[in-house]
């Protein structure tokens, strides 16, 4: 069910903020010529699925078959583009374009490494799933319905070849990614059943066009089912010990961290920093638990073990949560409340023209996280943004209770701050308005996740939650989650942490419910490095803010800092930091 949240508030339009920059020069002109519209058009012709995701529909009818030919074409494009990039001296570029140069240099190197060395296309069957671009084409009104259905019909022709290539690519996959691929591709079938049929029924296609579309959809479903069957046939062999390990190992992990995070830290340095931050948070939570113990456990003595004490206080507080049937409605209710708070407290200027819809996570996207934002890109910035939430009615009652206790009275608003306002939803609206398309398109995960985590702190600092010991204790637990995400990810992929030790870390040291811990263990098997992006980005953003406050106490203004930071699109925090320090030093 899709529910439109009416954000009818007196918001101002988001300004297009751009850092002060040097006047354009000859090198800037050369850079803009090489990496302007023609470059992106060639890029989208090779990555049409991503293009659909960001609102570039010129190649929406194209489904790339993931075979040796397409990989060779991508590598050739990378090498040609990087040669052009290296022919331009970045030191001769203005500040903003120098940042774009660095982003592209990292992007080209990262993409080549992923194809030639990481080679997920061989061991991760879940990389193959055609559903999401089809779903976006069907549900995004970028063209009349009949035209979109014709795009779908042309695109469907390549589905059998796509899955044939996928099966040919798979060599000794991991068990965990194989199981995820089975689950998500089963979910993909729904896109070509009721979803497609409802759109066909609403169209004015001719009977011949409808028949052709349905026949191609039937063939596509058969291809998906064939892929699922082939993966299921692999399971006994994989379960028997002939699977690749989901753990990356130090060498691959360090390289992926270098390309993905871009905050200036090494993977090991961030891990060591996270361990220290965990201890700091435990000390803070210990003091808060001391304050709250008499309220929640009157006439009972406190345990001598501080982790037990903290856990018992959080456990008692977690009994206060919404009913299972009210979970969606409560999220919907809180979104405009958060927007109103942000506006009234001068944290950020919000845009009233961006609809936000809470919906059940589509089946082909389930299996990794409870909730997440599915936002359009800069080519179609007026399209709806979806707040995907796993439907609780499909989760057993005992697991649902554990989940609701985790997202209790105090935690659920923090989740919505992170995912929506002023977190991901607000940040991505700004990113789509960035003057630099390179900064918006080649998104840095640590900046995106870091902003969402930073936004939680900014809200509480502004007084959200009334500065009660309860809200600060639960917030500390939430921040501890980001910190422990880093410890967990590094420990599992580099130090071979066991499942038992991982869950002990999550439950005892991070005070997470068994349901949350089970989900996080699953997630760390299915992803790598991404879990470190929360703490890495948050720490870098917070440090930048505090540095500017120290160096410019008279000029610093929080709202200006927030909007200037977000005005650089999705660029890495390291790059934004350099640009902001240069800009503000001259103000």
Q: Is 388 helix (H, G, I), strand (E, B) or coil?
A: strand
Residue of 403, 382, 113 lying closest to 258 (CA atoms): 113
Query: How many angstroms separate the CA atoms of 475 and 347, rounded?
Result: 19
Transcribe 101-159 into DSSP letters: HHHHHHHHHHHHHIIIII-HHHH-GGG---HHHHHHHHH--SS-HHHHHHHHHHHHTTH
Q: Judge whether 105 and 36 are in contact, CB under 8 Å.
A: no
Residue of 179, 66, 78 lying closest to 122 (CA atoms): 66
Residue of 130, 257, 121 lying closest to 196 (CA atoms): 130
For residue 14, the Cα-to-chain-centroid distance in whole angstroms is 22
Portion of the chain with pLDDT greater than 70, in percent: 94
Give the pLDDT score at 584. Answer: 74
Which are the contacts of 90, defined by CB distance < 8 A and separation ≥ 6?
98, 101, 102
Q: What is the number of helices (H) and of strands (E) in the chain?
A: 27, 4
Q: Judge whether 313 and 289 are in contact, CB under 8 Å.
A: yes
Q: Judge whether 332 and 358 are in contact, CB under 8 Å.
A: yes
* pTM for this model (two decimals): 0.89
Distances (CA, A) of 462 to 10, 345, 427, 527, 558: 20, 7, 18, 34, 11
State yes or no: cis peptide before 422, omega within 30 of 0: yes
Query: How many angstroms separate the CA atoms of 180 and 245, rounded?
Result: 15
Give the pLDDT score at 364. Answer: 66
Q: Judge whether 347 and 457 are in contact, CB under 8 Å.
A: no
Q: Is 86 helix (H, G, I), strand (E, B) or coil?
A: helix
Give the pLDDT score at 18. Answer: 41
Transcribe 59-80 into DSSP letters: TTT-----SHHHHHHHHHHHHH
Give the model confidence (pLDDT) of 523-558 as tens digits. 999 999 999 999 999 999 999 999 999 998 989 999
Which are the contacts of 510, defined by CB distance < 8 A and separation ≥ 6?
477, 480, 481, 484
Give the pLDDT score at 277. Answer: 98
Query: How many angstroms separate the CA atoms of 42 and 126, rounded?
Result: 26
Query: How many angstroms separate the CA atoms of 24 and 44, rounded?
Result: 27
How many CB atoms are located within 10 Å of the residue 502 CB? 20
Give the pLDDT score at 368. Answer: 57
Domain residue limits, the chain: 27-118, 125-242, 265-316+342-540
Give the model confidence (pLDDT) of 271-296 as tens digits. 999 999 999 999 999 999 999 999 99
Residue of 69, 278, 306, 287 lying closest to 165 (CA atoms): 69
Query: How many angstroms separate the CA atoms of 329 and 340, rounded?
Result: 18
- Sheet strands side by side (includes 2-5): 2-5, 356-360, 385-389, 371-374
Question: Which burial class, exposed, middle or buried, applies to 114 when counting CB atoms under 10 A from its CB (0-12, 13-18, 19+)?
Answer: middle
Residues of the chain predicted below pLDDT 50: 1-21, 587
Query: How many angstroms separate the CA atoms of 478 and 460, rounded?
Result: 12
Q: Judge whether 278 and 487 are in contact, CB under 8 Å.
A: yes
Residue of 105, 106, 98, 104 lying closest to 21 (CA atoms): 98
């Amino acid at each position: 069910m899709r529910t439109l949240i009416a954000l009818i508030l007196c918001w101002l339009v988001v300004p297009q903020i751009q850092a002060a920059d040097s006047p354009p020069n000859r090198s800037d002109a050369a850079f803009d010529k090489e990496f302007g519209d023609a470059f992106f058009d060639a890029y989208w012709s090779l990555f049409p699925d991503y293009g659909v995701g960001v609102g570039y529909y010129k190649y929406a009818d194209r489904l790339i078959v993931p075979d040796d030919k397409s990989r060779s074409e991508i590598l050739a494009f990378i090498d040609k583009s990087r040669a052009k990039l290296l022919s331009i001296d970045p030191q001769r570029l203005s500040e903003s374009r120098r940042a774009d140069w660095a982003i592209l240099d990292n992007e080209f190197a990262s993409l080549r490494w992923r194809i030639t060395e990481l080679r997920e296309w061989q061991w991760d069957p879940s990389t193959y799933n055609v559903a999401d671009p089809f779903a976006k084409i069907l549900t995004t009104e970028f063209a009349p319905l009949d035209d979109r259905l014709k795009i779908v019909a042309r695109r469907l022709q390549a589905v059998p070849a796509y899955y044939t290539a996928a099966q040919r690519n798979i060599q000794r996959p991991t068990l965990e990614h194989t199981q995820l691929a089975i689950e998500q591709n089963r979910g993909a079938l729904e896109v070509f059943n009721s979803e497609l049929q409802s759109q066909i029924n609403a169209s004015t296609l001719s009977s011949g066009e409808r028949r052709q579309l349905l026949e191609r959809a039937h063939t596509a479903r058969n291809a998906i089912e064939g892929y699922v069957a082939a993966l299921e046939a692999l399971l006994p062999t994989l379960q028997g010990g002939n699977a690749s390990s989901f753990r990356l190992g130090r060498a691959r992990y360090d390289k992926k961290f270098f390309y993905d995070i871009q905050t200036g830290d090494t993977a090991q340095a961030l891990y060591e920093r996270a361990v220290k931050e965990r201890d700091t948070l435990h000390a803070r939570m210990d003091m808060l638990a001391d304050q709250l113990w008499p309220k929640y456990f009157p006439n009972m003595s406190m345990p001598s073990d501080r982790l037990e004490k903290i856990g018992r206080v959080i456990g008692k507080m977690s009994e206060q949560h919404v009913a299972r049937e009210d979970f969606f409605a409560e999220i919907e209710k809180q979104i405009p409340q958060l927007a109103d708070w942000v506006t009234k407290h001068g944290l950020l200027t919000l845009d009233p023209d961006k609809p936000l819809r809470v919906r059940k996570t589509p089946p082909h996207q389930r299996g990794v996280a409870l909730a997440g934002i599915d936002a359009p890109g800069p080519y179609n910035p007026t399209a709806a943004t979806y707040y995907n939430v796993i439907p609780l009615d499909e989760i057993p009652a005992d697991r649902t209770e554990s989940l609701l206790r985790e997202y209790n009275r105090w935690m659920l608003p923090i989740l919505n701050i992170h995912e929506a306002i002023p977190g991901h939803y607000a940040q991505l609206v700004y990113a789509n308005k960035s003057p630099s398309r390179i900064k918006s398109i080649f998104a840095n995960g640590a900046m995106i996740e870091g902003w969402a985590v930073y936004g939680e702190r900014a809200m509480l600092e502004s007084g959200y939650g009334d500065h009660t010991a309860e809200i600060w204790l639960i917030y500390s637990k939430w921040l501890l989650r980001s910190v422990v995400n880093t410890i967990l990810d590094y420990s599992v992929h580099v130090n071979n942490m066991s499942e038992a030790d991982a869950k002990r870390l999550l439950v005892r040291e991070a005070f997470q419910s068994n349901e949350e811990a089970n989900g996080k263990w699953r997630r760390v098997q299915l992803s790598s490095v991404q879990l470190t992006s929360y703490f890495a980005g948050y720490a870098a953003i917070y440090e930048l803010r505090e540095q500017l406050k120290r160096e410019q106490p008279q000029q610093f203004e929080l709202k200006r800092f927030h909007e200037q930071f977000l005005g650089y699109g999705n660029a890495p925090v390291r790059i934004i930091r350099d640009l902001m320090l240069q800009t503000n030093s001259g103000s």
